[in-house]
Amino acid sequence: MRQRKIPLRKCVACQQMMSKRELIRVVRSPEGDISIDLKGKKAGRGAYLCGKASCFKLAKKSRALDRALSVTVAPDIYDQLEQDFIKVEDEFIAGKVESSDES
């Protein structure tokens, strides 16, 4: 068994536990803006989603982000995030391939 500890986070849509690098972080800033945080460095309350558009759609349908961020996320914010999500999906997958130094 591997000794290296991989921090696990739960996808708020499908409830699967995964390592952080496989998840996309959505963050609510102290100002209340909700955005996608690819680098995982933004301040604020975060929620994690699998790097898949299908999981975002699930989150939108079940309003999982509302619960995870304890805030009401307006439908147009979900729409905006979904577009951003699809945009970053490619970048995210590319970055994952690049940094797959283990496994």
Q: Which is nearer to Zn ion, 14 or 38 (CB)?
A: 14
State the number of binding residues for Zn ion (CB under 5 A).
5
Q: Which is nearer to Zn ion, 16 or 29 (CB)?
A: 16
Residue 48 to residue 68: CA distance in whole angstroms: 9
Q: Within 10 Å of residue 97's Cβ, how many Cβ atoms?
A: 8
Q: Establish if 14 lies at the interface with Zn ion (CB under 5 A).
A: yes
In the complex, the smallest distance separating the C-beta of residue 94 from Zn ion, rounded to whole angstroms, is: 19
Residue 41 to residue 47: CA distance in whole angstroms: 13
CA-closest candidate to residue 77, choices 68, 65, 89:
65
Contact indicator for 27, 9 with CB cutoff of 8 Å: no
| Region 27-66 residues binding Zn ion, contact defined as CB under 5 A | 50, 55
Q: Which is nearer to Zn ion, 14 or 77 (CB)?
A: 14
* Interface contacts to Zn ion, rule CB under 5 A: 11, 13-14, 50, 55
